[in-house]
Structure 1
Amino acid sequence: MKTHVKALVVGGGCVGTSIAYHLGKAGWDTMLLERDELTCGSTWHAAGLLPLFNMSFATSHIHDYSVKWYKTLEAETGLNPGFSVVGNLRMAQTQARMDEYMLYATTAETVGVPYQWLSPAQIKERWPLVRTEDLVGALFHPTDGYINPADVTMAMAKGARQLGVAIERKWQVDGYEWTGSEWKVTCTKMAEKGGNLIATEEQVVITAEHVVTATGNHSQRTAQLLGIKMPAIPVEHQFIVTEPDPALLAYRAAGGAEHPVLRDADAKWYVREERGGWILGPYEQGAPARFKYAVPDSFRADLFQLDLERIEEEYMSMIHRIPTSETVGLKDDFNGPICYTPDGNPLVGPAPGLRNMWLAEGFSFGITAAGGTGYYLAQMMVEGEAEIDMASLDPKRYGNWMTTEYAVQKNEECYSHVFILHHPDEEREAARPLRTSPAYDRQKAAGAQFGHVNGWDRPNYYAPQGFDDHASRSFRRGGWWQYAVEEAKAIREGVGLIDATAFTKHIVKGAGATAFLDWFTCNKLPKVGRINLTYALTAAGTTRTEYTIVRLAEDEYYLVSAGAWTAYDQDFLKKAIEDKEAEFGRIELQDVTTQWGCFAIAGPKSRDVLNELVRDAEPETVLSNKRFPWLSMRKIELGMVPCMAIRVAYTGELGWELHHPIEMQNHLWDRLMEAGEKHGLKPVGARAQNWLRQEKSYRAFGTELGRDATPLEAALDRFVDLEKDYHGKQAMLDKGIRSKCVTLLIDGPEDADPWGREALYDGDTKIGRLTSGGYSVAFGKSIGMGYVRPDLAVPGKTLKVKMLNQLWDAEITEDSPYDPKNETIRKNG
């Protein structure tokens, strides 16, 4: 057994073996440890489905790679992975479900995933055992199907061994220690005794430059060993296998093709053929989380007792959809743990706070994701970044505020929502409210309908009392749309107030702060009392984080970044400071996110409202352009509240961000609302703000900005200083311009706007995708932002955008189509 490797993979399920294979293929000296036998976690009792359907751009790429790669394994390894390419049929009982499929389909086109539309009659003609009279239609994926989980894992393991990867079974990891340059991993030999797996006295310490954990149901034990938090906790998943169905046997004997994997999302189940019978896999309400803290030592390849009452509704609906199954008996049943996360996406990437420790945990669709996860994670480890933006899967999207109880509630909710309509404006209710700004109750009383970001509840929009947000959700313009229009108009024509307290906020100060930030970011640093928009780059030259930097003193800076990415940004800053402090001098980092509240006031009348509250010897001039110019900061007093006011507005209107002591927030809210009453001040939510920033072509991190595009590709040249040296600069230049970010005005359908997931076409050729979408009150039509081929990124160029299964005209505009010269935002006064 090796005692030193470049990469150690912990966990021998499908995910771990894929990672080991791809690291071996990259030429890394790699070893995999499994505490029991390969596949004996959730892999062994998985149904082996390979659904390409996914609303996430990154996850769609991962699934697509898996499906394609699995088809090549037999030729490489000689082992048949048991891939039955029967396709996947997603049936729809309602038009709303078809709307969901149409949104997914345009997302699939951006990845290159093939699909077909089938009518109820076409379904019945091809698969006569399926009842179709109550269906609206279906989406069919012809290239996926199902696979044998054990066989594909063994094929990947053999492929890994052929590449020089060592695979060791019956070794349990009991400790991790970072020495400053490598990991010391303490491992204990396991042995079977009386059917149980027990630890022996034999131990070995393995040193590894990099460690990857792919421990599945044991993720909570892994988190405890590493001293971190992970919201990966299993939930019970049941599926049953029927006896052979005589009608199915007769259909197949007569030459009928094997049924695709059948998914009746409105009935919350999948069904596929299994040796002449059927497998039913329901996603019912009430499935409990298990192993909240650790998997019992006695639990190996075990199962839980079946709870048929819990899945009775789904079982009866299978009989409705496949009537011949009614008289068929049950042959077998499975109820095992499947790991989940609160948003259903796995945790893939660097572990928070640790060096060279990589996580691949929380896979609810592990068989489908295994191949692609190994491929893209190996890219991240070997090359520094993957070719796609993996930030949406980053483990640090959940901060230290996350608790076991939160993960349990959200994971149980996530399981029950697998087949719930996934509206783009969906807001799930479990574990809420949790993190709230002080003004939450005042906003709720004003009709705020809240969204959930990084644990925070923040207003999405404001509606009359009694309005039902859940009932208003849609794949088209939901019931909330009219209220967001009114809020956007209020900012364009009058004045609006936005709660931006969830913004991430850091203080960077010390003798080395200036030199560090000059190296860390790509734009010039502002002068004292001024602000700049800038970007931190990855080592690959792509965009890692967007910051608004306020210079408070010569060596003190206030950094504001996206509210969804607090732990993500803090981890990057902290590690970069640790790497450079010896070179630049002492640097102090403080996360002050929860110490400072933030209100954004914007609109032509915003100065009038603030003038009512300013306390100064010459209050009428405090907010004038002369004393308070655009892109500057001043400390002002609004009534009894000291504020760090920043002359900037994400909406593109005259406005200020009012950063204030969070304990004074309610007082400030009340004074602003009172002062604003005669000026028509309107509280505004995140949805209207999102529309308004697109009218100004303001890029957003997580949509236009990410680790798959450079700031130059994002068309942010004015924020990139090519005269100085900084982290990632040369890699950025070496990338060149592979695609270009543009803003488009869209003549779309009368009842729908794009969501930022849609494919873009030049004639019949797919040439890009939208990353953001919405409605423009300034232009009275849909708007979107996205990436296209550089040769097409020309104002006036007409393209097509795929929405609701149709192509609609979309014209590329100049950047900042609303107020392109920034005359409004610089407004005199």
Structure 2
Amino acid sequence: MKTQVKALVVGGGAVGTSIAYHLARAGWDDVMLLERDELTSGSTWHAAGLLPYFNMSFATTHIHDYSIRFYKTLEEETGLNAGFAVVGNLRMAQTDERMDEYMLYASTAETCGVPYQWMTPDEIKEKWPLINTSDLKGALYHHTDGYINPADVTMAMAKGARQRGVMIERKWQADAFHWTGTHWEVTATKMVEKGGNLVPSDEQIVITAEHVVTASGNHAQRTAKMLGIKMPAIPVEHQFIVMDQDPDLVKFRAEGHVEHPVIRDADAQSYVREERGGWILGVYEPKAPARFEYGVPDSFRADLFQLDLERIEEQYLAMIHRIPSCEESGLKDDFNGPICYTPDGNPLVGPAPGLRNMWLAEGFSFGITAAGGTGYYLAQLMVEGEAGIDMASLDPKRYGDWMTTEYAARKNEEAYEHVYILHHPDEERPACRPLRTAPAYDRQKARGAQFGHVNGWERPNYFGPVDAPDSFDHDARSFRRGGWWQHAVEEAKAIREGVGLIDATAFTKHLVRGPGATEFLNWFTCNKLPSVGRINLTYALTGHGTTRTEYTIVRLAEHEYYLVSAGAWTAYDADYLRKAIGDKAPDFGYIECHDVTTQWGVFAIAGPKSRDVLNDIIKDADPATVLSNKRFPWLTMRNIELGMCPVRAIRVAYTGELGWELHHPIEMQNYLFDQLEKAGAPQGMKLVGARAQNWLRQEKSYRAFGNELGRDATPLEADLPRFVDLSKDFHGRAKLEETGVRSKCVTLLIDGPEDADPWGREALYHGETRVGRLTSGGYSVAFGKSIGMGYVTPDLAVAGTKLQVKMLDRLWNAEVTEDSPYDPKNARIRIDG
């Protein structure tokens, strides 16, 4: 057995096997896979093998699409039949709202080139008469997918991997990981059978590897402990039953009819497919418990849990309603096994936090569907430095160290239950909340705040009625304009016409200082560094020249900088920043980096009357001039005093109006809130949430990280050349220039439906040709119509170009506007006082 390799993959399920295969296919000729038991002995063996395209995530849709196409090629390459039954996937809707969901998903699917078609109840009944369609509104049909045999596809990938030189070693368990500074040393123990259990023997070896990938499935918590990291990948029980033959189905097939597609009755929380003349019923029911929160028992191998039929009784009765002929079929077999989840249902794929050359592929709730694409795109990340798609939404560092085992277990149970609950774009799931709250949380809640959940933080989305709180259903979500929409409109108008206050405490904040800080940041970011007391918007790039992180940099002193970035990405930004400092500190000198996110609260005050509010409470020898353009110009920072609260005030506003960000000691937040509220009352100041702010920033064409900005586009493609200084050398510059402009970011005003706005997931058309996609969407109070931002081919990124947006299964007229259609000269930001 070899003990020195370039890449070691730990875990022999479908995901791990795919990663080993794709690393070899990408050119790495020294790859080994370790499996503690037999290949497929984890969740792979009891998976139902379905291949659902449906996903609201752009990255995950690409991953699923690759898998489905890749699996169809395996037999030709390996000679092994992967057991792919291309029967299609019929996703049915019992309500108009479910059809709205499918229409939003379908437009997202179009952006990835995923084929689909609509079916009416009559068309379903004509093709598959065993299905009861009496209460259906329609269905979405993917004719290119179906189901696959999980063991067969895994063995096919394993054979393909071996053919490419991968060494696959079974009955070896990874028991320790040690980073030497240049490579990993992995202690592996030989596992042996003893009394039906798998136990460690006395035989151990140490494998040295340049890279390690963990794909340990249900054993993710054990892996996390060995690596000294946190990982919210915890299994949840998943049940499905196999029924005896259905005589009507047997007769239907004997008459020459093709196999039914996978039947997904989302409103009944279940899926059904044929199985040898009978049916398989799988469910995503409420109250399915998390298991193995602290590790898998040594005695648990290819085992199952006790079936809990009472828990799925409602879904079983719904199946009989949907396929009446199955009512007399008996129960043939049952499965209740662990399937890993994460709090948002997406897997953890990418570099491990804080570790070098350690890669995670954990938390797969749809592991068979995602295995092929995960192997392909993770291999790109490892071999080429970046993937062909932005993988940030799957990055393991989207969860920080604040996350606990209890949080992960409860949120994973919630994610499981929500598989078939309507995926409203404005949904806010309630489990484990509130958890991270700024001091002013209770004050804002008392004033009608309805909170969203960002990186564990509670952040106001909008403010509802206070006088009659029971008169408004805050849980009334929608794929169109929800009940919150009018409140967001009033908040946006308040900032455009008067003054509004936004809680931005969740912003990520880092302090970077030391003799090497200036030289390092000059290399790390692509814009000029600001002078002392000024700020700059800038970007840290990937090695491929695409956008890794957006920063507002405030220069506090000659070699001291305050970096502000997106609140959802604290651990993600911190890890990249610290690793870059570790790499470059020997070149530039001593550098400190501190995450000060929880030390500073932030209020953003904006609107033409914002100066009037602050003037009422500012403490200075000449308070009337402190906030003037002369003493406090746009894009500068000043230390000011608001009553008894010292404030690091930054003259910038994400809304495009006169405004300031007020960064303050978080322990003084309630005092500052009270002062601002009192001073704001005569000016009619309104509390404003994130949804109105999101609309306002689109009117200014302000790009948002995770939407317009990401690892699949350069700042030049985001049409931000003013923030790129090509006169200096910076990380990613050569690739930035080499890439050129493949597509370009634009802002569009949209003549959409009267009751809906885009969500930023929609396809863009020029005539009958799909030319791009939206990355943001919403409503513009300034223009009285829908607005969106997105990417199109460069030839169409010209003001006045007429396009169409796919919304609610229709094309709606849209027009590319000039950048910053609202106040393009930034006159309102510079209003003097």
**TM surpasses 0.5:** yes
Per-residue deviation, residues 556-601 of structure 1 (Å, max 9, x unmatched): 0000000000000000010000111111011000100000000000
Number of aligned pairs? 829
Alignment of 1:527-566 (within 5 A): 527-566=531-570
Q: Alpha-carbon deviation of 1:749?
A: 0.3
- 2:679 corresponds, among 654, 662, 675, to 675
- 2:479 corresponds, among 475, 479, 494, to 475
For residue 466 of structure 1, give the secondary structure of its aligned residue in structure 2.
helix
Separation in structure 2 between the aligned mates of residue 90 and residue 155 of structure 1, nearest angstrom:
29
Q: Alpha-carbon deviation of 1:469?
A: 5.2
For residue 472 of structure 1, give the secondary structure of its aligned residue in structure 2.
coil
CA contact (8 A) 1:449 1:469 kept: no
Q: AA paired with 2:126?
A: E
Query: In the alignment, is residue 719 of structure 1 matched against residue 720 of structure 2?
Result: no
- 2:795 corresponds, among 763, 775, 791, to 791
Q: Alpha-carbon deviation of 1:193?
A: 1.2
- 2:665 corresponds, among 646, 661, 664, to 661
Q: What is residue 643 of structure 1 aligned with on the other side?
A: 647
Per-residue deviation, residues 315-344 of structure 1 (Å, max 9, x unmatched): 000000000111110000000000000000
Separation in structure 2 between the aligned mates of residue 613 and residue 275 of structure 1, nearest angstrom:
77
Separation in structure 2 between the aligned mates of residue 26 and residue 487 of structure 1, nearest angstrom:
51
Distance 1:812 1:50, change over 3 A: same
Query: In the alignment, is residue 378 of structure 1 matched against residue 375 of structure 2?
Result: no
TM-score (norm 2): 0.99
Separation in structure 2 between the aligned mates of residue 483 and residue 529 of structure 1, nearest angstrom:
37
Q: Alpha-carbon deviation of 1:257?
A: 1.6
Q: Please tell me the root mean square deviation across aligned C-alpha atoms, in Å.
A: 0.5
Query: In the alignment, is residue 487 of structure 1 matched against residue 481 of structure 2?
Result: no
Per-residue deviation, residues 738-757 of structure 1 (Å, max 9, x unmatched): 10000000000000000000
Q: What is residue 289 of structure 2 aligned with on the other side?
A: 288
Q: What is residue 786 of structure 2 aligned with on the other side?
A: 782
Q: AA paired with 1:729?
A: R
Query: In the alignment, is residue 10 of structure 1 matched against residue 14 of structure 2?
Result: no
CA contact (8 A) 2:116 2:143 kept: yes
Q: What is residue 610 of structure 2 aligned with on the other side?
A: 606
CA contact (8 A) 2:450 2:474 kept: no
For residue 133 of structure 1, give the secondary structure of its aligned residue in structure 2.
coil
Q: Alpha-carbon deviation of 1:471?
A: 3.4
Identity of aligned residues (%): 80
CA contact (8 A) 2:91 2:263 kept: yes
Separation in structure 2 between the aligned mates of residue 680 and residue 5 of structure 1, nearest angstrom:
67
Q: AA paired with 2:774?
A: L
Q: Alpha-carbon deviation of 1:27?
A: 1.6
Separation in structure 2 between the aligned mates of residue 263 and residue 467 of structure 1, nearest angstrom:
36
For residue 413 of structure 1, give the secondary structure of its aligned residue in structure 2.
helix
Q: What is residue 220 of structure 2 aligned with on the other side?
A: 219
CA contact (8 A) 2:507 2:564 kept: yes
Q: Alpha-carbon deviation of 1:472?
A: 2.0
Alignment of 1:259-408 (within 5 A): 259-408=260-409
Q: AA paired with 2:388?
A: E
CA contact (8 A) 2:610 2:659 kept: yes
TM-score (norm 1): 1.00
CA contact (8 A) 1:14 1:43 kept: yes
Per-residue deviation, residues 364-402 of structure 1 (Å, max 9, x unmatched): 000000000000000000000001000000000000000
Q: Alpha-carbon deviation of 1:466?
A: 2.7
Query: In the alignment, is residue 153 of structure 1 matched against residue 154 of structure 2?
Result: yes
Q: What is residue 728 of structure 1 aligned with on the other side?
A: 732
Per-residue deviation, residues 420-471 of structure 1 (Å, max 9, x unmatched): 0000000000000000110000000000000001000100000012355553
For residue 90 of structure 1, give the secondary structure of its aligned residue in structure 2.
strand
Alignment of 1:227-238 (within 5 A): 227-238=228-239
Query: In the alignment, is residue 620 of structure 1 matched against residue 621 of structure 2?
Result: no
Separation in structure 2 between the aligned mates of residue 349 and residue 466 of structure 1, nearest angstrom:
45
Which ranges in structure 1 are unaligned for 5 or more consecutive residues? none
Q: What is residue 26 of structure 2 aligned with on the other side?
A: 26
CA contact (8 A) 2:613 2:679 kept: yes
Which ranges in structure 2 are unaligned for 5 or more consecutive residues? none
For residue 470 of structure 2, give the secondary structure of its aligned residue in structure 1.
coil
Q: What is residue 754 of structure 1 aligned with on the other side?
A: 758
Q: What is residue 710 of structure 2 aligned with on the other side?
A: 706
Query: In the alignment, is residue 92 of structure 1 matched against residue 93 of structure 2?
Result: yes
Q: AA paired with 1:530?
A: R
Alignment of 1:190-209 (within 5 A): 190-209=191-210
For residue 301 of structure 1, give the secondary structure of its aligned residue in structure 2.
coil
Separation in structure 2 between the aligned mates of residue 469 and residue 748 of structure 1, nearest angstrom:
26
CA contact (8 A) 1:550 1:559 kept: yes
Separation in structure 1 between the aligned mates of residue 139 and residue 270 of structure 2, nearest angstrom:
15
Separation in structure 2 between the aligned mates of residue 56 and residue 469 of structure 1, nearest angstrom:
28
Separation in structure 1 between the aligned mates of residue 474 and residue 428 of structure 2, nearest angstrom:
8
For residue 471 of structure 1, give the secondary structure of its aligned residue in structure 2.
coil
Per-residue deviation, residues 775-819 of structure 1 (Å, max 9, x unmatched): 000000000000000111100000000000000001000000000
CA contact (8 A) 1:61 1:111 kept: yes
Q: What is residue 818 of structure 1 aligned with on the other side?
A: 822
Separation in structure 2 between the aligned mates of residue 473 and residue 730 of structure 1, nearest angstrom:
46
Query: In the alignment, is residue 512 of structure 1 matched against residue 516 of structure 2?
Result: yes
Query: In the alignment, is residue 583 of structure 1 matched against residue 584 of structure 2?
Result: no
Distance 1:467 1:540, change over 3 A: farther
Q: Alpha-carbon deviation of 1:194?
A: 1.4
Distance 1:269 1:470, change over 3 A: farther
Separation in structure 1 between the aligned mates of residue 546 and residue 236 of structure 2, nearest angstrom:
37
Separation in structure 2 between the aligned mates of residue 402 and residue 651 of structure 1, nearest angstrom:
31
Separation in structure 1 between the aligned mates of residue 273 and residue 722 of structure 2, nearest angstrom:
55
Q: What is residue 831 of structure 2 aligned with on the other side?
A: 827
CA contact (8 A) 2:474 2:484 kept: no
Separation in structure 2 between the aligned mates of residue 568 and residue 282 of structure 1, nearest angstrom:
34
Query: In the alignment, is residue 105 of structure 1 matched against residue 122 of structure 2?
Result: no
Q: AA paired with 1:652?
A: G
CA contact (8 A) 2:474 2:483 kept: no
For residue 435 of structure 1, give the secondary structure of its aligned residue in structure 2.
coil
Separation in structure 2 between the aligned mates of residue 714 and residue 419 of structure 1, nearest angstrom:
35
Separation in structure 2 between the aligned mates of residue 26 and residue 653 of structure 1, nearest angstrom:
50
Q: AA paired with 1:15?
A: V
- 2:500 corresponds, among 496, 501, 504, to 496
Q: AA paired with 1:702?
A: G
Q: What is residue 410 of structure 1 aligned with on the other side?
A: 411
Per-residue deviation, residues 189-247 of structure 1 (Å, max 9, x unmatched): 00111110010000000000000000000000000000000000000000000000000
Distance 1:159 1:584, change over 3 A: same
Q: What is residue 575 of structure 2 aligned with on the other side?
A: 571
Q: AA paired with 1:289?
A: A
Q: AA paired with 2:688?
A: V
CA contact (8 A) 2:54 2:105 kept: yes
For residue 190 of structure 2, give the secondary structure of its aligned residue in structure 1.
strand
Q: AA paired with 1:388?
A: I
CA contact (8 A) 1:691 1:776 kept: yes
Separation in structure 2 between the aligned mates of residue 577 and residue 97 of structure 1, nearest angstrom:
48
Q: Alpha-carbon deviation of 1:502?
A: 0.1
Separation in structure 2 between the aligned mates of residue 169 and residue 102 of structure 1, nearest angstrom:
45
Q: AA paired with 2:486?
A: Q
Separation in structure 2 between the aligned mates of residue 379 and residue 470 of structure 1, nearest angstrom:
43
Q: What is residue 70 of structure 1 aligned with on the other side?
A: 71
Separation in structure 1 between the aligned mates of residue 286 and residue 240 of structure 2, nearest angstrom:
14
Q: What is residue 442 of structure 2 aligned with on the other side?
A: 441
Q: Alpha-carbon deviation of 1:255?
A: 1.4
Q: What is residue 462 of structure 2 aligned with on the other side?
A: 461
